[in-house]
Structure 1
């Protein structure tokens, strides 16, 4: 494939899409971490179209816990300077997934903008926020799902479980202040005024009654201001595109306890109310920006990344090359095993040992990711795991207890943390993937 001679591209991943020493000391240089299966296909597609990583295609990794303005200062601006040094006579294109689009907008709409961006492509960007962010910000817990979990939900759950354990903080209202301090970025992703009402209750007639926004405990002043100045976006760069996913069950509202709210002014969230107008994470109405160019794709928040490449081809005018991927791959089921310590683990399916972890080495015929974190925290992700009933056998040879959590998109029962006692052998935990 001939090298592209157009503008260089900076790709900005989304929340939980970067990992490195800046986020968790000891995890090494920047990478996509456990999100590599999300972003590697798009990078490969761009390479097949003629781009070369670190020549005219750059990845802007960042500490997604921080506020967007801090991310721009610490990561995006230095990356832009680096790209301009290599390409002094060209403007830059930004292709962004999810929160990456908010990072890009923060720079473009800021007073420090240098008019060096030519094109902005936002893929599943929550321009009006997400219900999941409000739920976490208000309850200190991750949003439950009525219809299974998405890959990104599992990634978020896994990273937060590890980070909070490392910081000796647990989920819940009692640690809400600490969670706000650790993850200020989440507060900048809660739904804006433009999203509309997010709280509702059942009125007794089988219908939902929306609650005025005045009753919300939290407002997103940052994103409200960004959206109030949207004219800057279209005035400062030539082309802005929103790629929007749909037809996946997505939280649209939060059902609350009516009596607690109106009698005691207490916000007690009961359950999410879901819609198919979204990608499983971001609602359609949040990913859209009125007056801009939109592409719509039936894909979830993970598959929209590689599935949207046919639209990127249209935007850039790439010629179709033999073997260039265009279609959305079918969604696979992943199995996540997160644990502490140095156990030996065998995972059985129908009495067959499918996955073995022995003295830190994995033996399996499945594709997998194996990430290690400080204080002996480890995370194994298995791809294309079959449905069925599984048993995990754990041998703990250490003189201390270890903790283990099993997650999957289609786990029959909600994941629960298991504790294996010191020197305990033949610990068995059973679960079913449907």
Structure 2
């Protein structure tokens, strides 16, 4: 396109049989044919030298322009000559990122502030004449949702840009899944013919097998990008109440993951060594299948296509999976990659050519100008910046920024799981996060990103962080409660994770230390001292069953404060500054425990062991209490029991007096004690017989067993 073709015998002679297209040309003044083709050729939207169109004896005999052969599809044609643009910036360009290429800042989507994938591309375009928000725009979007929804949002974005530039068309640079968004728009029935150029960067036109791991197993690749996605997904799943990442992806749902599944056979059945049937043996990606079915709409759109792909090496990219049947009811319904979790052999992963994410067979299928770069998926926007500018403008850039490597970096992330806001201070004293003094933000750490505190999704990322001690300062929000700071150090080699959970109240400030050293993360609160517990009552002693036991415990914490306390008697909850009626407690040993947790989850535990016992006097009181509760129904029965107990007490006192008279004669004392024991047991057994006689007549089971326990205690103690 954009050619002046005139003064020839035949302007264009075409012999190929493919989906080629010529458009936006001035084809005039050619002696025999403007276009001569032996096969069908799309030559719509050209100027043929006259508003009546090209001459064709069969289809346009009234045309006064250059003649075309019957195989040429020339309608519609242009009604006036093309005024060719000068070389250089002619239209605004919109950059469409891929999955993970957008993040929210206080609820508004912005382009990749975390990994900075597009910084070099933007810097190169600006250095060579593009102006932000005048001729250079970005289209960050919610990459969780379906690309169908995002494509409609792209239509609105283009309309907004057209309002600014007062122009008919824009150019698009679309990376990764962003290319599918652009295709969905251009191939849709609501396309407004407002795109001039579309440059694909590593677009998975037929899907990416990596998506199978995520969609079927809830697993994400272990490279830095995958580790970041897994960190985010796992915390969001926990926060939103999903069982795990798989449950979150499937039932949230995160539609974009499914829309990246390949639309060709890629699952090899281990049992047969052949590909499972497609589509029946594979998960179905209706989005890409529909896009493939309407591909001709893209070729007929009059959009100039350029496809830039990456090729790291012949074995850099997952191309297929060797699968076996899975016994899991939900996971791997179409096959489990052999040895994937067991780390056996190749783990069922079959590698081939590609950019590390998108196989070559998926990225190169579009018929367009093709450029291949020896870089990985996320390097393409930076390493291809100069080429992209030249494709857009036809001019070699004077300055190119392409230092982004896409690998060999570390990313430190702090994710807040509410209800709290946060601020992070680096080892060098620089800050990022909420300014608690004025409700604004600190932004002092280079290559760091703070999502803001105006939404419930709050996190901080630091690209290539310094080693040393970071201080996370939190402030309680809403009604307070439990919050968690999840931290992760992500690289291509590994991800190191740690979490800290604490309690907060509205406005409360807390300090947490996060130390980054030698690839490890240590998280610890500045307050590590547990609360103090003082148990005034109960004490280590004997209590009579007839007593009421006061509960008196003092809790204190001089650092972060006491968040919660609990009191238990024999594992049954008790209230502080209350009392326990020991009449209803069994005789014997009891354990009273007190626990306290401060706001930074330091825990203290204290316990006291005591006994509940019976005496003759307390047993009389227990008889009275049983009668008052209606457990003993006849007053005469109650008075008879008390009389016998009092007789036993009087006898006991006489024996005690007798013993005192013979303290200097131990043999006599021992004989008296033996006689006393026999008398005690006789009297006690007589009372027990009375209890048994009255049971279920004038004494219910509650009174019977309680008083029986008292008498047996007196016999045995």
**TM-score, normalised relative to structure 2:** 0.49
| Separation (CA, whole Å) in 2 of partners of 1:421 and 1:110 | 50
**Residues 1:243 and 2:304 are matched in the alignment:** no
State the shift of 1:155 in Å: 4.1
| Separation (CA, whole Å) in 2 of partners of 1:397 and 1:5 | 49
Out of 130, 136, 150, the position equivalent to 1:57 is 136
Question: What is aligned with 2:149?
Answer: 70
Out of 16, 20, 26, the position equivalent to 2:104 is 20
Kindly indicate which of the two structures has a greater share of residues assigned to strand: 2
| Separation (CA, whole Å) in 2 of partners of 1:159 and 1:425 | 21
Question: What is aligned with 1:164?
Answer: 237
1:212 alignment partner, SS class: coil
Out of 272, 276, 280, the position equivalent to 1:211 is 276
| Separation (CA, whole Å) in 2 of partners of 1:28 and 1:376 | 8
Instruction: Answer yes or no: is the 8 Å Cα contact 2:210–2:318 preserved in 1.
Output: yes
**Residues 1:230 and 2:312 are matched in the alignment:** no
**Residues 1:295 and 2:371 are matched in the alignment:** yes
**Residues 1:190 and 2:252 are matched in the alignment:** no
Instruction: Answer yes or no: is the 8 Å Cα contact 2:120–2:402 preserved in 1.
Output: no
- Structure 1 gaps of 5+ residues are 22-26, 348-352
Q: Judge which range, 162-171 or 104-113, deviates more.
A: 162-171
State the shift of 1:124 in Å: 1.0
Out of 433, 456, 460, the position equivalent to 1:379 is 460
Instruction: Answer yes or no: is the 8 Å Cα contact 2:415–2:485 preserved in 1.
Output: yes
- 1:109-120 equivalences in 2 (<5 Å): 109-120=187-198
- 1:394-413 equivalences in 2 (<5 Å): 400=482, 402-412=484-494
State the shift of 1:121 in Å: 0.4
Out of 38, 41, 44, the position equivalent to 2:117 is 38
Instruction: Answer yes or no: is the 8 Å Cα contact 2:213–2:219 preserved in 1.
Output: yes
Instruction: Answer yes or no: is the 8 Å Cα contact 2:142–2:150 preserved in 1.
Output: yes
**Residues 1:253 and 2:320 are matched in the alignment:** yes
- Pair 165,334 (structure 1): closer, same or farther in 2 beyond 3 Å: same
Count residues with an aligned counterpart. 402
State the shift of 1:296 in Å: 0.7
| Separation (CA, whole Å) in 1 of partners of 2:93 and 2:203 | 18
State the shift of 1:42 in Å: 1.1
| Separation (CA, whole Å) in 1 of partners of 2:389 and 2:99 | 25
Question: What is aligned with 1:305?
Answer: 381
Instruction: Answer yes or no: is the 8 Å Cα contact 2:237–2:248 preserved in 1.
Output: no
Out of 110, 116, 136, the position equivalent to 2:214 is 136
Instruction: Answer yes or no: is the 8 Å Cα contact 2:202–2:358 preserved in 1.
Output: yes
Deviations 1:233-267 (A, max 9, x none): 12212421111112163322234324759xx9944
Question: What is aligned with 1:107?
Answer: 185
Instruction: Answer yes or no: is the 8 Å Cα contact 2:114–2:448 preserved in 1.
Output: no
1:225 alignment partner, SS class: helix
| Separation (CA, whole Å) in 2 of partners of 1:161 and 1:406 | 12
Instruction: Answer yes or no: is the 8 Å Cα contact 2:386–2:397 preserved in 1.
Output: no
- Pair 5,410 (structure 1): closer, same or farther in 2 beyond 3 Å: closer
- Pair 426,331 (structure 1): closer, same or farther in 2 beyond 3 Å: closer
State the shift of 1:127 in Å: 0.8
| Separation (CA, whole Å) in 1 of partners of 2:429 and 2:375 | 30
2:163 alignment partner, SS class: helix
| Separation (CA, whole Å) in 2 of partners of 1:344 and 1:92 | 41
- Pair 80,199 (structure 1): closer, same or farther in 2 beyond 3 Å: same
Instruction: Answer yes or no: is the 8 Å Cα contact 1:191–1:220 preserved in 2.
Output: yes
| Separation (CA, whole Å) in 2 of partners of 1:92 and 1:15 | 22
Deviations 1:202-234 (A, max 9, x none): 569xxx653333554520112112112222212
**Residues 1:432 and 2:519 are matched in the alignment:** yes
Deviations 1:149-193 (A, max 9, x none): 13x32442344345434533342445554232xx1222222111x
Q: Judge which range, 49-58 or 35-44, deviates more.
A: 35-44
The two structures, once aligned, show a CA RMSD in angstroms of 3.8
| Separation (CA, whole Å) in 2 of partners of 1:239 and 1:36 | 30
| Separation (CA, whole Å) in 1 of partners of 2:141 and 2:424 | 33
Instruction: Answer yes or no: is the 8 Å Cα contact 2:276–2:282 preserved in 1.
Output: no
**TM-score, normalised relative to structure 1:** 0.77
- Pair 159,330 (structure 1): closer, same or farther in 2 beyond 3 Å: closer
State the shift of 1:105 in Å: 0.6
Question: What is aligned with 1:269?
Answer: 336
2:104 alignment partner, SS class: coil
Instruction: Answer yes or no: is the 8 Å Cα contact 2:487–2:497 preserved in 1.
Output: yes
Instruction: Answer yes or no: is the 8 Å Cα contact 1:247–1:276 preserved in 2.
Output: no
| Separation (CA, whole Å) in 2 of partners of 1:420 and 1:328 | 36
Deviations 1:365-414 (A, max 9, x none): 7643333464473222222768xxx88888989874524231322344x5
Question: What is aligned with 2:91?
Answer: 7
Q: Judge which range, 414-423 or 55-64, deviates more.
A: 414-423
Deviations 1:112-131 (A, max 9, x none): 22222111101111111112
Instruction: Answer yes or no: is the 8 Å Cα contact 2:92–2:165 preserved in 1.
Output: yes
| Separation (CA, whole Å) in 1 of partners of 2:248 and 2:130 | 45
Instruction: Answer yes or no: is the 8 Å Cα contact 2:270–2:324 preserved in 1.
Output: no
2:488 alignment partner, SS class: strand
- 1:329-348 equivalences in 2 (<5 Å): 329=405, 331-340=407-416
